[in-house]
Structure 1
Amino acid sequence: MSKYRSSRAILVLEAPWELDEDDANRSSVLPFIEGVAKLTGDTEVHYANFYDKKSFNKALDCLCKGDFENRTVYIAAHGFKNKVAGVPLIDLLVQVGEKSKKHRITGVVLGSCFVGEHTVAMEVCLEESGLRWCAGYTPAANWLDATLIDCALIARMSAVEESVFYDRELIANELAESIRLFADDYIIGIDYEDNDVRLCDALRFVAQPCGRGHRARDITEMVWRFKNEEI
Structure 2
Amino acid sequence: MAVKVILVLEQPWWGIENNPSQASVIPFFEGLARLTDCRLYSASFFGLDGFRQGLAHLAEAAEHHRNGRFYLYIAAHGSGRKLGNDKYGSGIRLDTAMVEIKLMADQIKRAISGLHGLEGCILGSCELGQHEPDFHALLMGTSLRWAVGYRHAVDWLPSTQIDLALMAAMVRGDRAYQDSDEGLVARFAEALKLFDPLAEIATDYGDNMARRALEETISVTVQSAGRGKRPWTLAAEDLWPLDEVEDEPED
Q: Give the counterpart of 2:29 among 29, 33, 36.
A: 33
Name the stretch that deviates more: 86-95 or 71-80: 86-95
In the alignment, what sits opposite 2:243? 229
Structure 1 residues 134 and 229: alpha-carbon distance in aligned structure 2, compared to 1, 3 A threshold:
farther
CA RMSD of aligned residues (A): 1.9
What amino acid is the match of 1:229?
D
In the alignment, what sits opposite 2:142? 129
**Distance between the aligned counterparts of 1:141 and 1:20, measured in 2?**
21
Name the stretch that deviates more: 73-82 or 213-222: 213-222
What amino acid is the match of 2:243?
E
Name the stretch that deviates more: 156-165 or 129-138: 156-165
**Distance between the aligned counterparts of 2:149 and 2:232, measured in 1?**
14
Structure 1 residues 183 and 84: alpha-carbon distance in aligned structure 2, compared to 1, 3 A threshold:
same
**Distance between the aligned counterparts of 1:187 and 1:221, measured in 2?**
15
Provide the secondary structure at the position in 1 that maps to 2:172.
Answer: coil
Contact 1:187/1:199, CA 8 A, preserved across alignment? yes
**Distance between the aligned counterparts of 1:222 and 1:93, measured in 2?**
27
In the alignment, what sits opposite 2:166? 153
Structure 1 residues 181 and 213: alpha-carbon distance in aligned structure 2, compared to 1, 3 A threshold:
same
In the alignment, what sits opposite 2:47? 52
Q: Give the counterpart of 1:216 among 231, 245, 249.
A: 231
In the alignment, what sits opposite 2:58? 63
The Cα offsets for residues 70-112 of structure 1, whole Å up to 9 and x where unpaired, read as 1110010000011111111222222222332516110011100
Scaled by the length of structure 2, the TM-score of the pair is 0.84
**Distance between the aligned counterparts of 2:36 and 2:163, measured in 1?**
15
> How many residue pairs align between the two structures?
225
Larger Rg: 2
Scaled by the length of structure 1, the TM-score of the pair is 0.91
**Distance between the aligned counterparts of 1:114 and 1:158, measured in 2?**
25
What amino acid is the match of 1:23?
N
Contact 1:17/1:25, CA 8 A, preserved across alignment? no
Measured after TM superposition, the shift of residue 148 of structure 1 is 0.4
Gaps in structure 2 of 5+ consecutive residues: 85-90, 246-251
Structure 1 residues 22 and 162: alpha-carbon distance in aligned structure 2, compared to 1, 3 A threshold:
same
The Cα offsets for residues 107-151 of structure 1, whole Å up to 9 and x where unpaired, read as 011100000111110001110111000011111100001000000
Show the 5 A alignment for 1:39-188.
39-41=35-37, 43-64=38-59, 65=61, 66-67=64-65, 68-85=67-84, 86-101=91-106, 102=109, 104-188=117-201
What amino acid is the match of 2:76?
A
The Cα offsets for residues 3-40 of structure 1, whole Å up to 9 and x where unpaired, read as xx970111101011007733257110000011111111
In the alignment, what sits opposite 1:13? 9
Contact 1:18/1:25, CA 8 A, preserved across alignment? no
**Distance between the aligned counterparts of 2:181 and 2:34, measured in 1?**
29
**Distance between the aligned counterparts of 1:50 and 1:115, measured in 2?**
18
The Cα offsets for residues 153-191 of structure 1, whole Å up to 9 and x where unpaired, read as 011112211111110121011011111110011010100
Structure 1 residues 230 and 14: alpha-carbon distance in aligned structure 2, compared to 1, 3 A threshold:
farther
Gaps in structure 1 of 5+ consecutive residues: none
Name the stretch that deviates more: 20-29 or 159-168: 20-29
**Distance between the aligned counterparts of 2:77 and 2:97, measured in 1?**
14
**Distance between the aligned counterparts of 2:139 and 2:243, measured in 1?**
28
Contact 1:206/1:220, CA 8 A, preserved across alignment? no
What amino acid is the match of 1:56?
F
